[in-house]
Amino acid sequence: MKPELISKPLQAKTPAPAAVHLQTIGPEEAGQRLDNYLLRWAKGVPKSHVYRIIRSGEVRVNKKRAEPTTRLIEGDVVRVPPVRIAEPAQMAAVNTAQTKSRAQGYSDKMPILYEDEALLIVNKPAGLAVHGGSGIALGVIETLRITRPELKFIELVHRLDRDTSGVLLLAKKRSALVELHRQIREGQTDKRYFLLAHGEIAQGAGVMQLKFALHKYLLPNGERRVRVDPDGLPSHTALRVIKTMKRGGAAITLAEAQLKTGRTHQIRVHLQKLGHAILGDDKYGFEDQDKIIKSKRLYLHAHLAGFTHPRTGEKMRIESPLPAEFAAMMKNFEVPAEKSRATDTPND
């Protein structure tokens, strides 16, 4: 009797062993990056663990190693090693009243710039991640899935760093997601950012072409970093100085950066390499100078997205105004008359 009495509760509490999963990609999953597919499929698994099993080769696509950025196509077979997927009861926690309240608060601070049957474009605030993971419970995508339950499909078209604000595209149809990803891969989109940088960036007529190869690596704690490296991937940013401002011995520059490629932290690392890090950049910036001028955020804002509408073929140009924090910072600096390009200054 004793073994029987002991074994029953043990069996009830012991979860079934995790097993290898073979997932065949269907038409609804096709077009996604491997990391995005796994982050959605392996709900409850830490984001850092998902990236680790990809990079270690434990995840296979058609029996071959794959990168996080690998695009999945219909018919691909994805092998996922044993991982603990969150139980339904754990996932239900996302629908608690407290979580719904937090999501609504985030949504209220995220104005919709454009919406139709295929697209949802929002003005993401600084400080809000685009998706949860690594200790972040709610990002833009989770917020929208909670506050807009009528949306049967909603996926990020691209990403913005957590501390970057501005135009963020999401697709409400799989076909729209696939088409916009194609446009991004083929360089048919236009993404531009306003930034405030330390120092006075010297620029003659025209636009500066910043072309530095970038290498992505991980810190011991698993956090991503990027550095300029001759053996890295090619990257290209077009930088246009709008105006420079001075206050005492300090100077800052307002500029527009146009992405020609879309590498991780590209603009931030390019400006660091130039010797003019972006204000408030806690990864690649100048901490001492940020303290002097009292930077309160990363002064990088995605102000324009240009693309072709995936359904109508219409040329789209979605813009977001310069955030109030930019204008407040610039008011603290004197604008030398000979340096000002007032006609080019956005909303200041």
Query: pLDDT for 80-90, tens place per residue?
Result: 888 765 544 44
The type of residue at 241 is V
What is the tens place of the pLDDT at every residue in 265-296?
999 999 999 999 999 999 999 999 999 888 98
Higher pLDDT, 32 or 217: 217
**Average pLDDT for residues 23-37, to the nearest whole number?**
80
Nearest CA-CA partner of 106 in 78, 132, 71, 76? 132
Q: Which of 113, 106, 215 is nearest to 167 (CA)?
A: 113
**pLDDT reading at 187 higher than 80:** yes
User: What is the assigned CATH class of domain 92-175?
Assistant: alpha beta
Terminal Cα-to-Cα distance of the chain (whole angstroms): 81
Q: Where are the domains of the chain?
A: 17-80, 92-175, 190-344
76 counts as catalytic: no
Q: Which of 161, 163, 281, 290 is catalytic?
A: 161
pLDDT value at residue 12: 41
Q: Do 190-344 and 92-175 fall under one CATH topology?
A: yes
Percent of the chain clearing pLDDT 90 (strictly above): 60
User: What is the rounded distance in angstroms from the CA atom of residue 235 to the CA atom of residue 251?
Assistant: 27
pLDDT winner (highest mean) among 9-13, 39-43, 308-312, 342-346: 308-312
CATH architecture label of 17-80: Roll (3.10)
Provide the 3-class DSSP secondary structure of residue 117: coil
Q: What pLDDT, on a 0 to 100 scale, did the predictor assign at position 95?
A: 57
Q: What is the pLDDT of residue 141?
A: 92
Report CA dihedral (90, 91, 97, 100) to the nearest 10 degrees.
150
pLDDT of residue 335: 64
* DSSP β-ladder status, 165-171 and 300-308: parallel
Most confident of 34-48, 105-119, 215-229, 329-343: 105-119
* Average pLDDT value for residue range 112-141: 90
Query: Mean pLDDT throughout 101-123?
Result: 95
Residue 315 has pLDDT above 60, yes or no: yes
Give residue-wise pLDDT tens across range 199-236: 999 876 679 999 999 999 988 877 889 999 999 999 99
What architecture is domain 190-344?
A: 2-Layer Sandwich (3.30)
189-204 average pLDDT score: 93
pLDDT over 60 at 328, yes or no: yes
Q: CA dist 5 to 9, 11, 13, 119, Å? A: 8, 11, 14, 57
User: Residues of the chain with pLDDT > 70: what percent?
Assistant: 84
Residue 137: is its pLDDT beyond 70? yes
